[in-house]
Amino acid sequence: MKNTRAFVAFLLAGWMAASLPAAGMADSHEEVSNPDLKCLKCHSKNLKKKLEDGTVMPLKVDVEAFSTSVHTVIGCTGCHRDVAKGKHPSREPIESARAYSLKHNQACSQCHTAHFDEYKGSIHARLAADGDENAPLCSDCHSAHAIQHRAVYKPESGEPCSRCHQEVFEAYATSVHGLA
């Protein structure tokens, strides 16, 4: 019970901090830039890649969602730096969607160093390092292409953590603190 309370307090502190507007963020999002239009010429279609494990990975980016994303300002090659070096489309085989996510999870650390360092010490990172296929990576909780400004998220909603930890939020909602 003590661990559950500590976990809930930790999550709530994180959501409260995340709900504060980011210093220096523009109120409106910039339009999709010209270099991104080149990417979206293909990636706005139902583009797919067959992976070595036999599954098919969608490569489509929702243009409308991306145009309102906080990542619009850094553009496609802000994260996909290998593409910026002219190595696209890649002919490199991809083992599985999970292998792709694991490889590209490091891209988040380029801008989100403190958060990524915090993630590396988390249970999620330890589970991923131990090979747990269900351990969440950055993009499992935070969409890479459609992430909204953190002020949009309401701490009481528990997003994105409540998607997997609903029981914690239900317990909190019925506690003295949740009812206050």
- On whether both 99 and 145 belong to a single domain, the answer is yes
Enter the tokens of residue 40: 């979206």
Higher-scoring residue by pLDDT: 137, 12: 137
Asked whether residue 157 carries a pLDDT value surpassing 70, the answer given is: no
- On whether both 158 and 141 belong to a single domain, the answer is no
Asked whether residue 1 carries a pLDDT value surpassing 70, the answer given is: no
What is the pLDDT confidence band of residue 26, given thresholds at 50, 70 and 90? very low
- On whether both 42 and 84 belong to a single domain, the answer is yes
Q: Is 22 left (phi over 0), alpha (psi -120 to 50) or beta?
A: beta
Higher-scoring residue by pLDDT: 18, 177: 177
Instruction: In whole angstroms, give the CA distance from residue 16 to residue 120.
Output: 21
Global confidence as pTM: 0.64
Instruction: In whole angstroms, give the CA distance from residue 72 to residue 39.
Output: 13
Q: Check residue 142 and give its pLDDT.
A: 85
User: Residues 128-140: pLDDT tens digits?
Assistant: 999 999 999 998 8
- On whether both 15 and 69 belong to a single domain, the answer is no
Closest C-alpha to 48, from 85, 84, 97: 97
Task: Quote the distance between the C-alpha of residue 110 and its chain's center.
Answer: 14
- On whether both 140 and 108 belong to a single domain, the answer is yes
Enter the tokens of residue 50: 């067959």
The 3-state secondary structure of 10-48, one letter per residue: HHHHHHHHHCCCCCCCCCCCCCCCHHHHHHHHHHCCCCE
Instruction: In whole angstroms, give the CA distance from residue 92 to residue 1.
Output: 48
What is the pLDDT confidence band of residue 116, given thresholds at 50, 70 and 90? very high
Tell me the residue range of the domain where 139 lies: 20-152
- On whether both 3 and 69 belong to a single domain, the answer is no
Rounded to the nearest integer, the mean pLDDT of the chain is 79
- On whether both 140 and 87 belong to a single domain, the answer is yes
- On whether both 83 and 114 belong to a single domain, the answer is yes
The tally of domains found in the chain comes to 2
Is there a contact between 43 and 59 (Cβ–Cβ < 8 Å)? yes
Which residues are registered as beta bridge partners of 57? 49
Q: What is the mean pLDDT of residues 47-72?
A: 92
Q: Check residue 61 and give its pLDDT.
A: 93
Tell me how far CA of residue 123 lies from CA of 75, 110, 118, 135, 168, in angstroms: 30, 21, 10, 9, 16
- On whether both 8 and 55 belong to a single domain, the answer is no
11-15, 31-35, 118-122, 132-136: which has the minimum mean pLDDT?
Answer: 11-15
- On whether both 106 and 179 belong to a single domain, the answer is no
Percentage of residues in the chain having pLDDT higher than 90:
27
Tell me how far CA of residue 57 lies from CA of 18, 40, 66, 155, in angstroms: 31, 17, 19, 32
Is there a contact between 86 and 77 (Cβ–Cβ < 8 Å)? no
- On whether both 126 and 167 belong to a single domain, the answer is no
Alpha-carbon Rg for the chain, nearest whole angstrom, is: 18
